[in-house]
Amino acid sequence: MSRSFFVPDYYPGFACKCGSCRSSCCKGWPVIITGEEYTRLQESECSPDFRKKLNEAFNLDGDPRRGGTAHVVHDRSGACPLLGKDGLCTLQLELGEGILPDVCRLYPRNTREVCGEAECACAGSCEGVTEILLNGEEPIGFCSVELEETPRFSIDMKDSFFRECRQALEVFRLGKGLEDRFRRLNDSLFHLPEGEDGALNGIRMLWEMTAWFTRNSPVVGSCCGKAMNTYGLDGKKPEAEELPALAERYALARQAGKRVLPHWEMNLTNLILNSMFYNSFPHVGGTNGEEDPFLSICVTAAFVDFILMGCLGPDSIREDAADVIATLFRLIEHSDFKYRAVKHYRESCDGSPGSWLGIIKRITE
């Protein structure tokens, strides 16, 4: 039975890239399936050779009859053992799409029910989604479509919070330029003071975040390391007098990067809009405190800009940009990045909630 779902307007045209995907969604990800799904796979009828492959593909994490789960045992390259050399899922080829666990069948889709309404968001960590968002020259919209789907989980949220989630999307969409969108979002829901990026604190924050993730993140460490080399940091913490030179190298990288992405400000707008919807901004997947969700989304925009521009070179193409962005959103949407973003902001910006505006201005120059 079909049901009306609230979705991004690109959703009806989205389709998995399957074998043409440059970075498969099941490579390097922790893939967890339910005990019920594991049992269904074990009871399925298939060839002896595939049965052996299927048995070796999962490890149990507890009794499946009592709510236990199972996880994919990746091969040495980090790929799912059921992924074929042609990039296609051998489980689907052998037994059909209906046998797939929800996490495999739905990704990057995130189906949920909120205050009685069904929604389906798409993760920016999918390169197919990212490529769509990089092709748009207008802000994405949202619409209702009929889907033969059931929401995968329910979000318990106050009606007033739900209305603010929808309000945030509409306010951000209707702005004129990225700086104006953030101003309108702040004026509508948060009311933080507006200030400048005094003493280049925003640049210091972005360097410190880049250095931290280079050392500590297996997901984005290589991207951050590449950006660090571009900006000439070599792992050193810049002194105050070195920050203007770092800011200049960043500005030059931005000029070069916009040759690869001539509509980058709109592209970034859509990446942020998509992430806001995916995370039910500002009330789910955000941070604690009235101002924290807003500060987090500001830092997210700046961090994506800083790392992407540091990774693009003279020979880079749009697909390179999409790969970097999808990698960054693996971190942003599937980890505690939002909390860490606010932590870095507060440590680097002298605790001033108004520095956000100076940081946003820098990425719209």
Give the pLDDT confidence score for residue 161 in this predicted structure: 94
Give the pLDDT confidence score for residue 24 in this predicted structure: 85
Give the pLDDT confidence score for residue 1 in this predicted structure: 75
Give the pLDDT confidence score for residue 280 in this predicted structure: 95
Sheet holding 32-34, edge to edge: 32-34, 69-72, 58-61
The predicted-structure confidence for 231-269, as pLDDT tens digits, reads as follows 987 767 788 898 999 999 999 999 999 999 999 999 999
Residue with tokens 């318990």: 156
Helix orientation angle between 264-278 and 318-333, rounded to the nearest 10 degrees: 30
Q: Are 26 and 108 in contact (CB under 8 A)?
A: no
Give the pLDDT confidence score for residue 63 in this predicted structure: 80
Quickly state the pLDDT bin for 287 (edges 50, 70, 90). Answer: low
Q: Are 10 and 138 in contact (CB under 8 A)?
A: no
Quickly state the pLDDT bin for 198 (edges 50, 70, 90). Answer: confident
Quickly state the pLDDT bin for 137 (edges 50, 70, 90). Answer: confident
Torsion angle, CA of 76/333/181/169, rounded to 10 degrees? 130
Q: Are 56 and 64 in contact (CB under 8 A)?
A: no
Give the pLDDT confidence score for residue 99 in this predicted structure: 92
Polymer length in residues for the chain? 365
Instruction: Return d(Cα 223, Cα 25) in angstroms, integer.
Output: 18
Quickly state the pLDDT bin for 353 (edges 50, 70, 90). Answer: confident
Is the bond into 282 cis (omega within 30 degrees of 0)?
Answer: yes
Quickly state the pLDDT bin for 183 (edges 50, 70, 90). Answer: very high
DSSP 8-class letter at 126: S
Give the pLDDT confidence score for residue 285 in this predicted structure: 60
Give the pLDDT confidence score for residue 240 in this predicted structure: 87
DSSP helix/strand/coil, 58 = strand
**Alpha helices for 5-141 (secondary structure H):** 35-42, 48-57, 90-95, 102-106, 127-135
Give 91 or 28, the one with higher predicted confidence: 91
Nearest Cα neighbor of 307 from 205, 245, 229, 224 is: 224
**Which of 163-177, 189-203, 217-231, 259-273 is predicted least confidently?**
189-203
DSSP helix/strand/coil, 1 = coil
Helices then strands, each counted (H, E), the chain: 15, 8
In Å, the largest CA–CA distance within the chain is 68
Q: Is the pLDDT of residue 154 over 80?
A: yes
User: Mean pLDDT over all residues of the chain?
Assistant: 92
Nearest Cα neighbor of 112 from 147, 139, 67, 141 is: 147
The predicted-structure confidence for 36-49, as pLDDT tens digits, reads as follows 999 999 999 999 99
As a whole number, mean pLDDT of residues 107-124 equals 95
The predicted-structure confidence for 20-29, as pLDDT tens digits, reads as follows 989 888 887 8
CA distances from 323 to 22, 124, 220, 287, 330 (A): 8, 11, 11, 27, 11
Nearest Cα neighbor of 323 from 235, 365, 260, 262 is: 260
DSSP helix/strand/coil, 299 = helix
Give the pLDDT confidence score for residue 292 in this predicted structure: 92
Give 18 or 171, the one with higher predicted confidence: 171
Instruction: Return d(Cα 120, Cα 112) in angstroms, integer.
Output: 6
Q: Is the pLDDT of residue 188 over 90?
A: yes
Q: Is the pLDDT of residue 70 over 70?
A: yes
DSSP helix/strand/coil, 7 = strand
Token output for 284: 């789910």
**Alpha helices for the chain (secondary structure H):** 35-42, 48-57, 90-95, 102-106, 127-135, 159-173, 178-185, 201-216, 221-230, 243-260, 264-278, 292-311, 318-333, 337-348, 356-362
